[in-house]
Every structure is written in structure tokens, then in C-alpha cells.
A and B are shown apart, each in its own frame.
Chain A
Amino acid sequence: MPAGLRFTSITRSFKTEARSVAALAGVSGEIAPGKITGLVGPDGAGKTTLIRVLAGLLDADAGRVQSTGELAHPRMAYMPQKFGLYEDLTVQENMTLYADLHGLDPALRAQRFSELNRFTSLGPFANWLAGNLSGGMKQKLGLACTLIVAPDILLLDEPSVGVDPVSRRELWSMVRALQGSGIAVLWSTAYLDEADGCDHVILLYDGRVIDEGLPSVISGHVARRTWRVVLPTDQRAGRKRDLQRAAATLPNVVDAQIKGRNLRIVTDRDDVPPDVTRASMPGLRALKPEPTPPQFEDAYLAAMRKQDLINESQINRRPGIYSQDPGAITQAVHLALDLGDKPQDDGLSSRAARHTNQTLATPVIETKDLSRRFGNFTAVDRFSFAVSRGEIFGLLGPNGAGKSTTFKMLCGLVVPSSGEALVAGFDLATARADARSRIGYMAQKFAYIGHLTLAQNMEFAGGVYGLARAALTHRIAEVAAEFDLEAYLHQNCGELPLGIKQRMALACAVLHKPAILFLDEPTSGVDPVTRREFWARLNAMADDGTTILVTSHFLDEAEYCDRMAIIYHGRQIAAGSPDEIKSAHADGDNPTLEQAFIRLIDDHDRTNGVRSAA
């Protein structure tokens, strides 16, 4: 029997030491049976609080939650962000536990388990410990455990965070397959392509619903403001990410994104194309914008920018990096990194030329047949690559492909089993400390101490890198200004939104002015607006000569990399510039990296048998 959920004027606030913060300020909406309702919004918008209130895990301060179907008490299933799996129990034991807890009739179990196993393809892994599964498989198991007894309403809190594109696609089709049975699904996400695939979307901002409706209707709000320019393949016109940045800083542009061979641009007024004639880059001035149908992402970004403008005066404003003069950022970063050879306003084309020269120079990071084995398991298998100064190099691959292990070897945290790694000219086997002092490392979980203030965390990080007291104080002030962190310096880190923590983590990583930055999943779980700001920073740093090695699950971000390697099962299965990889491994008019990635993984699986979990 189909059942939905209606919630009306939900408010909920939390008390912190100093003040009471409203997480939800009167939120209303509906989750309809047989549909996937997307819950989208930046970090700290109140998504998790709303889901917890609906799941009955938090009491609202005021407001109503009621069933819309004939059932007074629909059966609710909820998957929290951490899945709720017991890592020291096997796949089968986890499922049995939840079957016991939900009182599933033992006579029906065998059938239900085999149904769910077919659904998740986890059958062959029944006796694996959940802790040994990859992120994507854990997510599927978590979903299977929530679905043990078929629910009427399914609440999913960011189910696709930290999950690779292949697993993400599988998870999505699993939930889609539930629709036939009339289940009402609430899916909160930071991925806008997922939101676009929902039947209904609720846009949450600062504890309020700022828009809701069909994704296509929401996209329609910017219908006459979306444009595209086809990027020239000729490198002389400038690198794509330089063109993107130049476009994003045009006065009437709200957002500019690289999408395959195109640059998508959202402008601030209907029917007014981006004013490329005012661009600082000649390469961009030559391009011709043409109208293109709007996408959900365009509308989302435009809506967020609008809200940010309204909130500008508040403390929690997002620094509008796009509205700033790119030169100013470059200067600030430059000052911060103190690289010596400060570029005069040399124009972007000459910067591109400089970049070309550097590519020919000695690599800053170089590995030769780098391998790491843990017992019988080979985490990284003869991996060779080289990165030049000022390059952004992406390391991509599904969960458990060996990305983090490679990173840890390059930082000297894990000793390679064989092969060699040279970082900044130092062999990690012999000169680990020397190499390390040149490296800034930003760990996947943004290492911070929750009970310390942001400034104290930075002092700690700087102290670890051996910065002297006086220099450190000066440097923290400098970096805090550069990263727009001054307003948060004296707040406890644990209470800050994820986006701020991420910015702090990057700030900590550059305190000692490293020549090389290692960023492990820096944008995982971070909302799109914050991600864009983050990449703008990285680009500016790379332009000033910092070499950046980055892993990501977001393939649209990989477009910003100069070159990348896709690794799978510890082995490199593709390498090159994003364009090279796309043209070699994806078809179509405007192929995306995601298509290429999924194709590569599928091909590899077909030739090498089933996808293994490790």
C-alpha cells in the first residue's frame, strides 16, 4: 500500500556553547510514494537534521510529520551516512542481525536474502567481513540491511558520498528499481547529476526550502541564461582551466564549468550572453558563446549565488572567489608560497608557454615500478608516472584501487615493497625527511582536532612541520587572510561546516610553503559551490608553480587536471590528459570523463573476470 510523508513547518535548533543555531527554520515538503525525492543543499543547510527528524531520531522543536497514505504508521527505513554496518561482522551476519532486529520471519529469510543478494551482487561475498569491502560495496550492503523488511518510506542520507562513479551508478539503479513497488524515497546528495535524475527536488539553504519541484522546472529558471563555447583543441589558445577561470571572472557571469570539450557558462540576466569581449585572455575573446539548454547544476549554482548575495552581510558568507580579481588571488598565493620568481602580469598565453617549457623539464615527482604488497594482496602494482612543476596531476580510480596507498608511499608514510619514488629530487628510500619538508599533505578526512580552535589547529600543524613560533604566528595570519578564514580563527573546529574544515585543512597543508601538494579526496562530501572555490584556489597555486597531486571521485573535477592516471586493482589502466583519455575511451559528440571511466572499468572487468572487492 503506497504511503508518503508530509512534513510541515519543521523547526529544530541546536545549542552550542555560545549560542543557539537554527538547523531547520520552518521546513515543509512532501515525499511522494513511488518517487525519488532529492534533498539538495550546501553543507550545513540542514539536510541530515531534516532526515533524522523524519526518521524519528530527533524531535523537532515544532512542526508536523504525517503520513499521506492510508497507513497511519508507514514502515520507515533509514540509512545513515555511516551506513550502520558492523565492520567486524560478515556480510551475511550483518544481514542476519538486521533480519533479527526487524523480526523477519525465519521462513521468509532465505528468499529475502537471495533477493537482496541478487539486487546487490554481494552473494559471492557473503562470508567477507564488512570492513574488508570497498566503499561502494559497503554502501550496497548498508542499503540491503535497511531494506531487509521492505519499507514504505526509505530515507537515504548522502548515500553516494565517497563512492566511486561505477558504484554510484549501481546504487542509483538499485534504488530506481525499488520504484515499481511504490516506495517513497528521500535521497540527499551533493551530486547535482543525481539531483537532476530525481523525480522531485527540495533545495535546502540555511535551514529553509528555497526552491522545490521537478528538476527540469528548477533548471527552467535559468533557461535563457545558459551558454556554451566550444573550447579550441589548439593548446596555443590557452589551457582549458585558464580559459574557464577567465570566463568565470567576467562581470556578467555567474558560473563557468568545463564540460568535456565545452565550457558551460551561466550569466546573470536572461538572453544576455557572456561578455567575452571583456575577457583578459585573447584565447577567450576569440570564442563565440551560443545558447544551450539549462541543466540542474546551472540552476543550483545560480540559486546558491543568489542566496549568498542575500547573506553577504552575515558572518557565514561564502567568499565569492569568482568576483575577485584573479590577479589578486595569484598575488596572495604567491606571497604565501614565497616562490621567489614572482611572475609579472605576464598574460595567460605566456603562462601557458612557460607551462609547456616546464613539462619538458625534470619531473618533480617521479615513480618507477612503484609497488606495495600487504601480505598476499598487491595494493599497488608497478606504477610509473611523472609530474612536472606546476602541473595538476589526477589519480583516479574506484574505491580500493590503490590511490591512497600510492599517496602514502609518496609522502613516506608507507614504505614501497619495490620500485622507487623520487619527490622533489629526493629518493624517498634514503631521504624521507628531506622529501617530506617539501610536501604539503591534506588527508582524506581533513585531520583536525575538534576541541581546538581553528587557529590552534593551524599552530599545531605548523609546529609539526617545525615552523618557529614567531614565524608561525605571522604565517598563520597570512594564510588565514588568504583563505578567508579570519572570521573562524577562534571557533572550535568541530563546530565548523565541512567546507570551512576543508579550507582549513588546505591552509594547514601550505603553512610551511611546500613545493608539492598531495590532496587525498579533498572534495569528498563537499557541496558543489565550495568545490568550485576549492578548485579555483588549486588552479591559482598551480599557476604559481606548486605541483599538485590529487585524487578525486568527482570526474567533472578531473577536467581541471593537466594530466591524470586511472588506476584499478593497483594497476594503471589509462593515462594522459583528460582529452586524450576521453577520445581514446569514450564515444559520442561530447564524451565525458565519467563515460570513459566507466567504460575502462567495465572493459577491464570483462577481460579479467568479476570485479573483486579488495
Chain B
Amino acid sequence: MNAPSVEGRGFDRKRLAGFVRKEWLQVVRDPSSIIVAVILPLFLLFLFGFGVSLDAKHLPMAVVIETSAPEAHDFLASLRATPYLVPQVVENRIAAASLLRDGKVKGIALLGDDFGAKMNGAGAAPIQVLVNGTDANTARLMQGYVQGAWALWLVHREHVNPGSQISPVVAQFRVWFNETIDSHKSIVPGLIAVIMTLIGALLTALVIAREWERGTMEALLTTPLTKSELIIGKLVPYFVLGMGGMSVSVVVALTIFQIGYRGSFIVLFISASFFMLTVLGFGLMVSTLTRNQFTASIVAITGTMMPAILLSGFIFDIRSMPLVIQVLTAIVPARYFVEILKTLFLAGNIWSVIGPNMAALAAMATLFLTITFRATRRRLA
């Protein structure tokens, strides 16, 4: 009952090539997409890579020594030896408490007048540690550092003066994969995943909406270009760009951040491709559904950036989240890629981890692209 559609049949390689060429020319002419693909990830990587650290160093703390026991000064020396703490001896508890209140120190170590007696006898812990809990993470770190210093000191004493008193039970810690527990080593790979989620979605979020807004879609629809050619033609150039940005980020991680790499680069390339298709697919889907560049970019940014930072396990461990939120993280593509990257960088080709994550990415890419395909109309309304 209506005029026949002009849509071509099947899939024409030359048509696709022509469309990809046009899309690529637009990329080259408009430097903004190159800036988004390469410069922006570098900028974010430097900003967060250097800025975000989960380690605390040089934490100021007050030490109150109320005892005349020689061990007390010995222990103080041990505290001074760690790079994590900057102990400062104050005269009394009141002065220490006021420093803590003013935020000038993060914690207080109190060596009471019974320090010497308790040291050599049995009974309660000979030192008391007060930490400022307003910053829970730093407080916990400080607690750990002081305990570590204490344990080390006991071991040291045991060596110097063997059999002098109770032999402390010393746990031997070995950290695998990130031997120095440098949080950079787990943050930077995760960061790459987070940044590329944003970049990938942003790259394609505008491209279909732009055709609608500029009125070129109306002209395209009257050519034999098929839906699949349109979608693939939109994916190919931005896939190349996105993978370019990804490579630059990996190189920076390896050289400037000096993060070691233990996996295979082929596995990295394959999993990164799946990931890139997922995020580009998300962008295309948003662009197709909104048909409006402004809305599309807002949705792409908020729909990727926040979940990628908070729900990907990049900083906050997913297993410690409430169950409902844990389930929700299943739809955050960055989650799978964060896991893959951390594994590849720090541990190696561990297929039991990489395999399921890669499969999840493949499934999500399929989902987003299917929705995009379904939502693409060869009609104006």
C-alpha cells in the first residue's frame, strides 16, 4: 500500500566501504573525536593515576611516653623507621588529644607508665593506640601500620636479646601478584577500563544522533544502505579509534606508571576488542534511541562514568557490597574488563578468571548491538 522501500538487500561490501570511508573522513576532519579517543584518556589516566592512591604515607601521629623504660625509646625509633608514619613526641595526653582534635595528627600512640612492667610480664597490651575515625580508610591503615611496627619491633627484640621473654607469635605475610602492595598496580589497570568505558560510549553516542540532527539521515534512508551496513559502518572507524586510545593507555601504564605485565598481549587484544564492542554498542544504542546529541552525550556520560567508578570493583570490592548492588553490577561492562585487566597485568593468563568475563562482555556487546539494530528504523516516524 505504500511506496516500496529503497533499502538494498543483504550486505554490500562496496556500500559499506563507502560509508566507512565517509565516517572516517568525518573523524579526520573533526579533531574532536581524535581528542576524545586519545588525548582525553591520557589526561584522565595521568590525573587519576597520579592522583588516586589507596596507600597512605607519612601519616602524622603523636606519641606520648609516660614511662622511663628504655624499651619505650627503642620502640619509638622503630616507629620512626617506617615510611608510613611520622611520629612526634608530645608531653602529655592532653596535648596529644588536642592535636588529634585539630586534625594535626591522625592518631596517638600511648606508652603508659606501666609499659616496662607489662613488657616483661604478662597482661594487657602495653601500648594504647587512638586513631581518628572520621576517615575510616586512613584510620584502618594507621591501625595496621602501628600493629605492623609493633610486631616487627618485637621480632627485632627477640633477635637482639633472644629468650629474654615470651616469644611472640609472628605471622609471616606473603602478598601474591602485587608483592609490594602498591595500590597503583591494581588501580592503573582498573583505571584503563573505567576511562575506556567513558571514551567508547562517548565516541559513538553522538554519531547517529548527529545524522538525525543535521538532516543527513533523511537522505541516507533514501539510499539502498541497509541497517546492518549503517551500524557496522558506524562501528568500524570508532573501533579503530577506541583501540588506538586503549593502546596508548596500556603503553603509558607500562612505561610511565611502570606497572608490570604478566599476561599475553594477544589475550589483551581479544578481550579489549570485546570490551570496545560493548561500550561502542552502548553508545550507538543511546544515540539511536535518543536521536539527540545533547541527550545522548549526557546519558552516555552518566550511564558509564559513575557506574564504572563505583560499581566495577575498580576501587570498591564488589563482594563487600550488599547483594542487591552486587546483582546490579552485572550490567556494568567495566566490571568484567576491570577484572580481566587486573588479572592480565598482575597475575597472567588465568583463564578461569578471564574466560567468564570475556563471555560476559561478548553477551553484553550482542545485547547492545541487537537493541540498536531493532531500534534503527528506515522510516522517519
Chain A's nearest CB lies how many Å from the CB of B219? 2
A477 at the B interface (CB under 8 A): no
| Contact across chains for B18 and A100 when beta carbons are under 8 A apart | yes
Task: State whether A97 and B19 are in contact (beta carbons under 8 Å apart), knowing that A64-B1, A89-B29 are contacts in the complex.
Answer: yes
With beta carbons under 8 angstroms apart, the residue of A55, A59, A64 that contacts B222 is A55
**Known A89-B22, A102-B223; contact A80-B2, beta-carbon cutoff 8 A:** no
Binary A-proximity of B1-38 (CB < 8 A = 1, otherwise 0) = 11111101000101101110110011001100000000
SS of B interface (majority): loop
Please judge, given known A-B contacts A65-B2, A88-B29, whether A57 and B379 are in contact too, CB under 8 Å: yes
Cα–Cα distance between A80 and B221 once the two chains are bound (Å): 11
Q: Are A84 and B215 in contact (CB under 8 A)?
A: yes
A14 at the interface (CB under 8 A from B): yes
Task: Determine the chain A residues whose CB is within 8 A of the CB of B223 once the complex forms.
Answer: 98, 101-102
* Residues on the B chain within 8 Å of A97, using CB: 18-19, 21-22
Do A103 and B25 touch (CB < 8 A)? no
Measured CA separation A63–B3 after assembly (Å):
11
Q: Quote the shortest CB–CB distance from A530 to chain B (angstroms).
A: 23
Cβ of A86: which chain B residues have Cβ within 8 Å of it? 22, 26, 216
Name A83's contact: one of B219, B221, B381 (CB within 8 Å): B219
Indicate whether B355 reaches chain A with its CB closer than 8 angstroms.
no
A60 contact set on B, CB distance < 8 A: 1-2
* Interface 9-residue window, one of A70-78, A175-183, A211-219, A372-380: A70-78
A76→B222 contact, CB < 8 A: yes
Q: Once the chains bind, are A55 and B219 in contact (CB under 8 Å)? A: no
Chain B CB within 8 A of A85 CB: yes
* Chain A residues positioned under 8 Å from B2 (CB to CB): 53, 56, 59-60, 65
- For B12, give the chain A residue with the smallest CB separation: A103
Say whether A83 contacts B215, CB under 8 Å. yes
Contacts of A353 in B (CB 8 A): none
Instruction: Note all chain B residues with C-beta closer than 8 A to A96.
Output: 18, 21
Q: Within 8 Å of chain A (Cβ to Cβ): is B260?
A: no
* B174 interface contact, C-beta 8 A: no
> A52 interface residue, CB < 8 Å from B?
yes
Is residue B225 contacting chain A, with contact meaning CB distance below 8 A? yes
Q: How many residues of A contact B (CB 8 A)?
A: 42
> Given the interface contacts A58-B381, A80-B218, A100-B21, does A89 sit within 8 Å of B14 by beta carbon?
no
Task: Determine the chain A residues whose CB is within 8 A of the CB of B26 once the complex forms.
Answer: 86, 88-89
Query: How large, as a class, is the contact surface on chain B?
Result: 20 to 34
Q: A249-282 vs B: 1/0 string, CB under 8 Å?
A: 0000000000000000000000000000000000
Please give, as numbers and ranges, the residues of chain A lying within 8 Å of B58 by CB-CB distance.
none
Q: Is A82 an interface residue (CB 8 A)?
A: yes
A93 interface residue (CB < 8 Å to B): yes
Chain B 358-381: CB-based contact to A (< 8 A → 1; otherwise 0): 000000000000000000000111
- Specify the chain A residue showing the minimal Cβ separation from B380: A57
| Chain B residues whose CB sits within 8 angstroms of the CB of A82 once the complex forms | 214-216, 218
A479, CB-defined interface residue at 8 Å: no
Is the pair B215, A80 in contact by a Cβ cutoff of 8 Å?
yes
Q: Tell me the smallest distance from the CB of A348 to a CB of chain B, in Å.
A: 46
Are A100 and B19 touching (Cβ within 8 A)? Answer: yes
* Pair A80/B14 contact, Cβ less than 8 Å: no
Residue B89, interface by CB 8 Å: no
Q: Cα distance A73–B8 when bound, in Å?
A: 13
B220 touches A101 (CB 8 A): yes
A84 and B25 in contact, given A101-B18, A103-B224 (Cβ under 8 angstroms): no
Q: In this assembly, does A54 line the interface, its C-beta being within 8 Å of a C-beta of chain B?
A: yes
Contact with A89, one of B3, B17, B25, B379 (Cβ below 8 angstroms): B25
From B18, B216, B379, give the contact of A59 (CB < 8 A).
B379
CA distance A145 to B5 in the complex (A): 19
* A29: min CB distance to chain B, Å: 14
Q: Are B216 and A84 in contact (CB under 8 A)?
A: yes
CB distance from B379 to the nearest CB of A (A): 6
Candidates A59, A85, A103; contact of B14 at CB < 8 Å: A103
Q: With both chains docked as a complex, state the minimum distance between the C-beta of A23 and any C-beta of chain B, in angstroms.
A: 10
Q: For A54, what are the chain B residues with a Cβ–Cβ distance below 8 Å? A: 3
With beta carbons under 8 angstroms apart, the residue of B4, B15, B21, B214 that contacts A103 is B15
CB-CB under 8 A for A56 and B216, given A93-B22, A103-B14: no
Given A53, A81, A102, which contacts B215 in the complex, CB threshold below 8 Å? A81
Question: Are A78 and B222 in contact (CB-based, < 8 A)?
Answer: yes
Q: Which residues of A contact B216 (CB under 8 A)?
A: 82, 84-86
- Report chain A residues within 8 Å CB of B22: 86, 89, 93, 97, 100
- Interface set, chain A 1-45, CB cutoff 8 A to B: 5, 14
A79 to chain B, nearest CB (A): 8
The listed residue (B29, B215, B380) touching A58 by CB distance below 8 A is B380
Q: Which residue of A lies closest to B223 (CB)?
A: A101
Cβ contact of B6, chosen from A5, A56, A85, A146, cutoff 8 A: A56
B residues whose Cβ falls under 8 Å from a Cβ of A: 1-6, 8, 12, 14-15, 17-19, 21-22, 25-26, 29-30, 214-216, 218-225, 379-381
A–B pairs, 14, beta carbons within 8 Å: A14-B381, A57-B222, A57-B380, A82-B218, A83-B219, A86-B22, A86-B216, A89-B25, A93-B25, A97-B21, A100-B22, A101-B18, A101-B223, A129-B29
Counting from the closest, the 6 A-B pairs by CB-CB distance are A100-B18, A84-B219, A82-B215, A101-B223, A56-B3, A80-B218
For the A-B complex with A57-B222, A65-B3 known, give 9 more contacts whose Cβ atoms are closer than 8 Å: A57-B380, A59-B379, A80-B218, A81-B215, A89-B22, A97-B21, A100-B17, A100-B18, A100-B21
